[in-house]
Structure 1
Amino acid sequence: MVKLMEIDYINGPRTDKIFGVSKYQMEIFRRIEGVGWNIIEYDSLMQILEKKYNANSKSGSHSQTTGNRSIYEIKSLKFIEDMGKKTLKTLDKHRYIHTVKNEVKEGNIKHITSQELAYILNSVKLENSIVTCYDLIPWAYDKNRSSIWKENMKGLRLADCIITISEFSKEEIMKYLDYPAERIKIVYPAADHSVYYENRNKEILSKLNISNDQKVVLYVGSEMPRQNVPVLIKAFAELKKKFPDIKLVKIGESQSYRERENILKLIKDLHLHEDVIFAGYVPEEDMPKWYNAADILVYPCAYAGFGLPPLEAMACGTPVITSNTTSLPEVVGDAGIMIDPQDVDLMADKMYEVFTNNSLKEELVKKGLEQSKRFNWEDSAKKTLEIYEEI
């Protein structure tokens, strides 16, 4: 009887939300057959506290008021909250090292599913180790030299194999880690073409009180500085001078309290408070509907390990404008409009061009549908299984 290959799947904190990293893991995980899984996860202390807080709030045992607080008090509370989160993350790190040490099995392949967990390799000797490194954004772009990121970089160097998601990310790993090229394997993210396909329909816009005859610019992502959301808002303000009845919908959590504050001030200064709509986190099942309802996706990210939103938008027949930097040309090819992500005027001009030039729009839709077919999760799962077999 042939022994089943088993993977210690070191997956970090449990989460119900699906985006980016968790989507990549989920889509590949559910397509790999013929292996056994020893899933090693944990409930973060922050999640435990949030669940307890929400339960208390629903039962009426806790109330919160902010109406009479000064800006100074609110910012002080935010500072305390941020410090508390950092402390909880440090505690989680030590808890998880202990969990991994106790739950890995001898002889199994050890797959650490994110570079954010690479610190584990400094504390636990793991043979046959793989780390999925999506990008080195904190180190390469943000210039983060915190102790945790020094530990992650050190841990990545100890991995027997690194999986990454683009040629660009592979080059960055080689550059910053001096890691051997032959031990870096590329497994591209993809679109589920049974879910993300052309089905143009604007019904979902009613959830945000947008009428079917209004034009919609869509942005999907966070508000971290590298995403250039302020540039998009300024370009949108220029576009609105030519198309008064147009909306900008932003999907995704902020991930930055300070950036949200700056963006809200910019929106107020440009008198766009009724035209820029924050949809927040959107469940995975609704995302294809939003792509299909949008007239255009603009993704002005300055540094991306891959860039799923442009790919998913193309799969839904939505024209894409994105950055000519990092991995994004690799994802979009010649199927989208590539621009300098800092150029407000050019971004506005290109959006106007897509809205007014039907032949250009049709060409982008056609090329985008074809380009998106180059990436599918079945190929990604097959490639991952091949890497397991090699290890």
Structure 2
Amino acid sequence: MLRIAFNAWFLNKEETGTGQYSTRVLDAFRRLEAGAQSLASLLHVISPSHKPSPIGRLGRNLSKVWFEQALFPLECRKAGADIAFVPYFAPPLFSPAPVVVTIHDLIPLIFPEYAYSPLVKLYNRLVSAAARKAALIVADSHSTRNDVIRILNVPPSRIQVIYPGVDESLGPVEDEGTLQATRKRYNLPEEFLLYLGGFDHRKNIGVLLEAYAILWKRLGGRVPKLVLAGKLPARETPALLNPRRLVEECDLGDRVHFTGWVAEEDKPALYSLALAFLYPSLYEGFGLPPLEAMACGCPVLASEASSLPEVIGDGALLIDPHQPEAWADKMEMVILNRDLAAELRERGIRRVKAFSWLKTARELWEAFNRLLTAPELSP
């Protein structure tokens, strides 16, 4: 039977998108069956706990590279793995088994501000070269697939689109005690528009705040507060902006509320409380937060850039991310037209049903099996 070595560097680190993907895919693998066997018995999970890195004292980043490029291939060989699966953009350059790597996005290569040091640039070149050698690249979306073809110059025949899933436990929170506890924990207003995510430049928070300022001038006190949820950056960098500074520049004062970091278990209630979820991002490889909001019955307004139209479909209102006036128009529609908000809730919940972690795991497993019967795909 097929034996899979699984790179588990990000396992259970669910504060990151890669950590969520790794954890959910592995859990779904363990729930699948392969013939008469549980697929769990065919997995060899390789985590950093196997052996300490001899260069650990040089820092976590170098230890991570050591794990990816040395320890993981070594453990693959010891396990007699048929496939080396890396669920994020860091495949080994040399591997004893055909490598399958999931590429969620190419943010480090598309946005130069993320390559903030010579070492990061060197690392990006290393993993790019390794990805070109991989037997199969799994892309989170057709948008990411096109980026891989264009930027990494990988033949389309070696790329397969397999969508991530959405946590099946997500749904509208109706328990009043849970909702009020979440409202109190994050000091939330009675009605609010919500953004939840990071504050790097590609998230396009500046346009969102411009749109909100336009809307405030139109409607005044009828506009619900804007809640910006997520861990605030410690300092401003070429990749990270200071949202508080932008709030001041837009003269929005206390009309914008910052929650800080939000625990995973509180997100469903936060989405359920919000009047609408706003996601103006300039670039995503997939776009999980809008889908999570939709799963919780929250109307979504999202950017029409990169992967988002493909992933969201008709489950949300899609808007040009460069047009604050257009954002203000659509926000006004959702605030004033409760029938539209109800329709978006229904469309969102319906759309999310297309994404399942079990489906993701099943398609990955089928891809692994096809790989072993297609010699032209081997490295």
1:80 corresponds to which residue? none
Give the count of matched residue pairs. Answer: 344
1:287 corresponds to which residue? 267
2:185 corresponds to which residue? 207
Q: Distance in 2 between matches of 1:272 and 1:23?
A: 34
Aligned-pair CA distance for 1:243: 4.5
When the two chains are superposed, the root-mean-square deviation of aligned CA atoms in Å is: 2.6
Report the more deviating stretch, 188-197 or 355-364: 188-197
2:95 corresponds to which residue? 125
Q: Distance in 2 between matches of 1:256 and 1:386?
A: 43
**Partner SS, residue 219 of structure 1:** strand
1:38 corresponds to which residue? 44
**Partner SS, residue 169 of structure 1:** helix
Instruction: Flag the 1:292–1:150 CA change in 2: closer, same or farther, 3 A.
Output: same
| 1:248 to 2:226 alignment | yes
Q: Distance in 2 between matches of 1:27 and 1:88?
A: 24
Match of 1:235 among 182, 194, 211: 211
Instruction: Flag the 1:24–1:13 CA change in 2: closer, same or farther, 3 A.
Output: closer
2:118 corresponds to which residue? none
| 1:26 to 2:6 alignment | no
The letter for the 1-side match of 2:188 is I
Q: Distance in 1 between matches of 2:43 and 2:161?
A: 22
1:139 corresponds to which residue? 109
Aligned-pair CA distance for 1:362: 1.9
2:156 corresponds to which residue? 181
Instruction: Flag the 1:334–1:101 CA change in 2: closer, same or farther, 3 A.
Output: closer
1:13 and 1:42 in contact (8 A); partners too: no
1:316 and 1:369 in contact (8 A); partners too: yes
1:190 and 1:311 in contact (8 A); partners too: no
Q: Distance in 2 between matches of 1:234 and 1:276?
A: 12
The letter for the 2-side match of 1:138 is P
Q: Distance in 1 between matches of 2:71 and 2:229?
A: 35
1:7 and 1:108 in contact (8 A); partners too: yes
**Partner SS, residue 236 of structure 2:** helix
| 1:109 to 2:115 alignment | no
- Superposed CA offset, 1:229-249 (max 9, x none): 121122222333424363222
Q: Distance in 2 between matches of 1:148 and 1:92?
A: 11
1:57 corresponds to which residue? none
Structure 2 unaligned segments of length 5 or more: list them: 33-37, 116-120, 372-379
Aligned-pair CA distance for 1:134: 0.6
Q: Distance in 2 between matches of 1:200 and 1:337?
A: 28
The letter for the 1-side match of 2:229 is I
The letter for the 2-side match of 1:225 is H
Q: Distance in 1 between matches of 2:323 and 2:195?
A: 17
- Superposed CA offset, 1:182-212 (max 9, x none): 221222122223323464864222222234x
Instruction: Flag the 1:140–1:126 CA change in 2: closer, same or farther, 3 A.
Output: farther
1:1-391 equivalence runs, <5 A:
3=1, 5-13=2-10, 16-32=13-29, 33=32, 34-35=38-39, 36-42=42-48, 88-94=60-66, 96-104=68-76, 105-115=79-89, 117-118=90-91, 120-121=92-93, 124-142=94-112, 146-197=121-172, 199=174, 202-203=179-180, 204-211=182-189, 214-241=190-217, 242-244=219-221, 246-254=224-232, 257-258=235-236, 262-391=242-371
Instruction: Flag the 1:289–1:250 CA change in 2: closer, same or farther, 3 A.
Output: same
1:223 and 1:256 in contact (8 A); partners too: no
2:196 and 2:230 in contact (8 A); partners too: yes
Q: Distance in 2 between matches of 1:261 and 1:310?
A: 21
The letter for the 1-side match of 2:122 is S
Aligned-pair CA distance for 1:137: 1.4
2:231 and 2:262 in contact (8 A); partners too: no
Q: Distance in 2 between matches of 1:280 and 1:42?
A: 30
- Superposed CA offset, 1:328-384 (max 9, x none): 001111221111112112212211110001222122122112111111222112111
Aligned-pair CA distance for 1:281: 2.9
1:200 and 1:292 in contact (8 A); partners too: no
TM-score (normalizing by structure 2): 0.82
**Partner SS, residue 62 of structure 2:** helix
Aligned-pair CA distance for 1:127: 2.0
**Partner SS, residue 379 of structure 1:** helix
Structure 1 unaligned segments of length 5 or more: list them: 50-83
The letter for the 2-side match of 1:342 is H
Aligned-pair CA distance for 1:142: 3.5
- Superposed CA offset, 1:216-240 (max 9, x none): 1111211111100121122222333
2:192 and 2:224 in contact (8 A); partners too: yes
- Superposed CA offset, 1:57-99 (max 9, x none): xxxxxxxxxxxxxxxxxxxxxxxxxxx9xx6523542354332
Identity among equivalent pairs (%): 28
